[in-house]
Amino acid sequence: MFSNVPLFPEQASTVAPQVDALYFFLVAVSAFFAVLIAIVVIAFAVKFRRRSATDRPAEIHGSLVLELAWTIIPFGIAMVMFFWGARVYVTLQRPPDDALPMFAVGKQWMWKIQHLEGRREINELHIPVGRPIKITLTSEDVIHSFFIPAFRVKQDVFPNRYTTIWFQATKPGSYHLFCAEYCGTDHSRMGGTVYAMDPRDYEQWLAGAAAAPAPAAAAAAQGPSLAEAGAAAFQQLGCPSCHRAGSGALGPDLGGVPGSQVKLTTGETVVADDAYMRESILNPLAKVVEGFQPVMPPFKGLVSEEQIMQLIAYIKSLPPAGGSPGAAAPQAGAAAPAPQN
């Protein structure tokens, strides 16, 4: 399926040169010392070989300079590796604030990708060149790994947990997408293609125009935005009956909750991030909000990972309590079944 993958894929993202520079530095240092040690071993074996049965080597008392050299030099090189590697790692782990959010769910054996605007894809991902992309990842079954060699990015994808990956394409083209974690019988077939497009072509593709290669355009499906789909799921699940503003509500009003500090009945405070909201949907009794009773039923097994992402996107679209309704998605007067109870 991917027999034409080059040994060294082209550098097609902003972080690719950084990753390659670090990688080749590590290879160069390893190769240098491997050759140096091999030469020294051979030279010493020849020079200090035993020449007769009575041959005895001269006593060596050591050299402080030599011992300091072979301690300080490797330590310095190791520190260069450490700090350089840490810098690249931090770059890879901290997406820019203006990154375009997308969502991907791994499933044996495919990648299901959702754009905020409503476009959905399977084993294909369309992105604009020159803009940071942040993808929130999760799995419906086993551990997968989202890997784009040309971008030099890879992130493990776990069930019951969110991870993120980000990159910024620098040149238009099509690039391989792999699952880099053995995930079952057809693991080797779990791959796809990333289409990096000119921003104008990407906007046309989002709008439904066939600006992308024909197979990719045919694979994409247009639907409601992520927040709109979340609003529909929210209504279907009957969440507005509890999560609403005003006295007597069984659950908190969720407007403005994402990213805020939430105080629990245990007295501790947690950040209402995506992982917290996901847990609150599936297992609401795990972290009960202060001032509310643990009456919300668990939704584990009743909603898919895609629906959870939609619900979270909907919650994020809600205006803060008392804010302007115009800032919310359709049906924003209701709330979703997340930060509790």
- Are 201 and 207 within 8 A, CB to CB? no
CA 326 to chain centre: 31
Residues carrying CATH 1.10.760.10, the chain: 226-327
Evaluate if residue 341 carries a pLDDT over 80.
no
Asked which of 21-30, 131-140, 223-232, 328-337 is least confident by mean pLDDT, the reply is 328-337
Of the two residues 201 and 327, the one the predictor is more confident about is: 201
pLDDT band at 165 (very low <50, low <70, confident <90, very high): very high
pLDDT at position 3: 55
Convert 237-249 to b/e letters by CB count within 10 Å (16 or more is b): bebbebbbeeeee
Lowest mean pLDDT of 106-110, 221-225, 272-276, name the range: 221-225
- Reported as a single tens digit per residue, the pLDDT across 114-162 is 898 888 899 999 999 999 999 999 999 999 999 999 999 999 999 988 9
Q: What is the pLDDT of residue 333?
A: 34
- pLDDT on residue 18: 95
**What is the reported pTM?**
0.77
Calculate the alpha carbon distances from 156 to 68, 220, 254, 311 in Å. 41, 24, 30, 23
Task: Name the range with the highest mean pLDDT among 47-61, 191-205, 299-313, 319-333.
Answer: 191-205
Helices (H), the chain: 16-47, 64-93, 199-206, 214-219, 226-236, 274-282, 305-317
Contact in structure between 1 and 188 (CB atoms under 8 Å) = yes
Decide if pLDDT at 321 tops 60.
Answer: yes
Between 251 and 14, the more confident residue is: 14
Task: Say which CATH topology domain 226-327 has.
Answer: Cytochrome Bc1 Complex; Chain D, domain 2 (1.10.760)
What is 1-43+63-223's CATH topology? Immunoglobulin-like (2.60.40)
Q: Please, which pLDDT band fits residue 4 given cuts at 50, 70 and 90? A: low
CATH 2.60.40.420 residue ranges of the chain are 1-43+63-223
pLDDT over 60 (residue 217)? no
